[in-house]
Amino acid sequence: MTETRIEHDSLGEIAVPADRLWGAQTQRSLENFPIGREKMPPEILRAFALLKRAAADANAALVPARMTEEKRAAVAAACGGILDGSLAPEFPLSVWQTGSGTQTNMNVNEVVANRGNALAGRRLLHPNDDVNMSQSSNDTFPTAMHIAAAEALERSLFPAVDGLIRTFLRLEEENRGVVKLGRTHLQDAVPIAFSQEISGWRGMLEQGRDQLRAAQKGLCRLAVGGTAVGTGLNAPKGFGALVCGALRRETGLPFEEDPNKFHALTSADGLVFAHGAVKALAADLMKIANDVRWLASGPRCGLGEISIPANEPGSSIMPGKVNPTQCEALTMVAVQVMGNDAAIGFAASQGNFQLNVFLPVMAYDFLQSVRLLGDAVRSFDRRCAAGIRANRDKMDENLRRSLMLVTALSPRIGYENAAAAAQKAHREGLSLREACLALGLLTGEEFDACLRPEDMI
C-alpha cells in the first residue's frame, strides 16, 4: 500500500503519495480528471520553469522584502530540476482538465515549492505566496503556451525545414540540364527541367519558413503581468517587462509584454495565426510527398521517373515489393496537422469575457503539430529525399512520347493545326512528327528544327 501524507488547500485536507513533490491541488486534479492518456506536454513544463524562475528574479528586484534572495535562489534551483528533466515524474496531469490550465500552474507551483523546501531543509516557499507571486493561472498559462510554441518552432521545425531545403538545393545542382515532361491536371504538359521542378519544392519550404518566422512574432507577445483579468492586480509595476527581459536572455527569442493584457488573456489569435502557418507548411509538404511518390511509382508500370531509397519490404504477400513509406508517413502527419488546426480554431473562438478556457487543448495540439511535422520532415529528408535519383532514360522516353510537345509548333503552324496534329497522332498511334508530315503541315527538317524539348524550358 502506498504511503501518503496529508496536504491541504482551500477545500480541506487530502492524502498525497508521500514520495511525490506535488501537493493538494495537483492530487485533486489527478483524481478528478482520469480522462485519456494525453498528459501536459514537456514543452509546457519547460516553459513554466523558465517563467517561474524569471518571475522570482523580477519579484526579487521589485519586492525584495517578500521575495528574498534565499527564496529566489530556492525557486531557481527547483526550476532547474524541471529544466534538466529530473523532476519529470512530478507532472502527471491530464490535458483534459480545467480550461484555464490552473491545475498545471498549481502543479508547477507545488513541485517548485516542495523541491525548494527540500533543498533549503525547511519550509521556506509557499506555492501561492512565493512561487506564484505577482501571477495568476490566467496569465501564466497563456504565457507558457506562447513560450513553448515559439521555442518549438525555433528548436524543432526551423532546423528540420532548413535541412530539407539544403537537400533540395543539392538535388537541383545534380540535375541541372535534365529535361522531363511537365504535368498539369495529372495530364501531359510541356517540358520542364527536373531542377526547376525541385526548385518549386524548395520554394514552398522557403516560403513556409518565412511565414512561420512572421507568425512567431505574435507568439513572442506575452500575457505575463495581466494576472487574473488583465488589470495586473497584485503585480508590481514593471513586473511583466522584467520577466520578458529575463526570458529574452534565457531563450534568445524576442519576448515582450502584450501591450493589451485584456486581449492577451482572452484571445488566442496569435496561436491560431501561427498554427495557420504550420498548416500551410503541412499542405506544401503533402504536395511534395505526393509528387515524389507519383514520380517514383512503378517501378515498371508507373511513371518511374525517379527512384527513392528502399527502406523496408512493402508487402507481406508480394515478394520484392517496396513502397514509398516515408511519403506516406509525412502525408499522414500533414493530415493530423490539418485536424489540429480545426481544433485550435474552434477552441480559440470560445473566449468568454476576460478569459479563454480552452487553453490546454490548444497548447497540446499546437505542440503536437510542430513536434510531428519536425520529426516527419527530418525522417523524410534523411530516408527519402536525400536518396532521390533521376531515372534519366525514363524521363527522356516519357518526354519524347508526349503529344504536348506540339505546343512548340503553334507559333509556326497555328493552334488549330497543332491540335489536329496531336489528335491525329493520338488517334492513330503516330508520332507527332509522323502526324505533321501526314497532314502536310511541316517537312521533316522543319519539324526537327521547331521542336527541340531542351529549348522549351
pLDDT at res. 120: 97
pLDDT at res. 63: 98
Catalytic residue, candidates 8, 86, 315, 349: 315
Catalytic residue, candidates 185, 267, 379, 431: 185
Beta bridge partners of 12: 9
pLDDT at res. 269: 98
Q: How far apart are CA 242 and CA 260, in angstroms?
A: 17
pLDDT at res. 2: 82
Beta bridge partners of 17: 4
- The residue ranges of the chain whose pLDDT is under 70 are 1
Which residue type, as a one-letter code, is found at position 436? C
Q: CA separation (Å) from 302 to 45, 293, 297, 319?
A: 49, 10, 5, 18
In terms of C-beta distances under 8 Å and separation of at least 24 residues, what long-range contacts does 335-343 make, across chains too? 335/286, 336/368, 336/369, 336/372, 337/278, 337/279, 337/282, 337/369, 337/372, 337/373, 338/279, 338/282, 338/283, 340/275, 340/365, 340/366, 340/368, 340/369, 341/275, 341/276, 341/278, 341/279, 341/369
Q: Has 185 been annotated as catalytic?
A: yes
Residue 68, helix vs strand vs coil = coil
Residues found in the chain: 457
- Read off the pLDDT of residues 17-49 as tens digits, 9 standing for 90 and up: 999 999 999 999 999 999 999 999 999 999 999
Nearest CA among 339, 365, 362 for reference residue 349: 362
Q: Has 315 been annotated as catalytic?
A: yes
Q: How far apart are CA 280 and CA 301, in angstroms?
A: 33
pLDDT at res. 398: 94
Residue 15, helix vs strand vs coil = strand
Place of cell 503541412: 282
